Amino acid sequence: LEFRRVLFRSTGRITDAEGILNYSLCPQLDITSGIDYKFLNTDQYSTYDTIKSGKASNNTGSIFASLYYKAGIFHLEVGGRYNHDHNYGNNFTYTVNPSVILFNQLKIFATAASAYKSPSLYQLFSQYGNLLLKPETTTSYEAGFEEEIVRNILTFNTTFYQYKTTDVIY
């Protein structure tokens, strides 16, 4: 019977730069937009393997914008995000979220959205990692209502939803 002590050490660096602009185009319409850049790298050392940051790195760049429209009882948010992932290529995500507020206490809403998530460097390169992982993508639909029963104290809400996720990363 032989016992071996397994050593594992991980170091990493994250650089993140983001610029955001919030601007009111008119009393009913606001815009939020921006750019984002992330660079990640890691060194992984274990009894069995060594991975240097030149191999275990990624960078992503994004541009995004959301429009918020509100007129009377009707509110609408429409947004999108374009991402360029160095390891996985280009993708686009979106959100559309209309709502109506009735009697200043009942909100009826719906949402259609998509999401995208690349595997982390740990999920790819750690001793438990898998280099064959693909980005996780989700499309979701929600609808529901929220009622304020006692102002600022008690709210009741119900949401019906459907999510479809592919290439789930656990």
Residue of 131 and 157 predicted with greater confidence: 157
- Contact indicator for 70, 28 with CB cutoff of 8 Å: yes
Average pLDDT, the chain: 90
* Cα separation values, 126 from 75, 131, 133, Å: 45, 10, 13
Whose CA is closest to 160, among 131, 136, 140, 137? 140
CA distance 74 to 18: 31
Residue of 141 and 131 predicted with greater confidence: 141
The pTM for the full model equals 0.81
Q: pLDDT (tens digit, 9 = 90+) per residue, 48-89?
A: 667 765 678 899 999 999 999 999 999 999 999 999 999 899
What is the model's pLDDT at position 104? Answer: 86
Residue of 28 and 129 predicted with greater confidence: 28
State the DSSP string of 125-143: HSTT--TT---EEEEEEEE
With helix as H, strand as E and coil as C, how does 44-83 read?
EEECCCEECCCCCEEEEEEEEEEEEEEECCEEEEEEEEEE
What is the model's pLDDT at position 135? Answer: 94
Percent of the chain with pLDDT over 70: 92
What is the model's pLDDT at position 67? Answer: 98
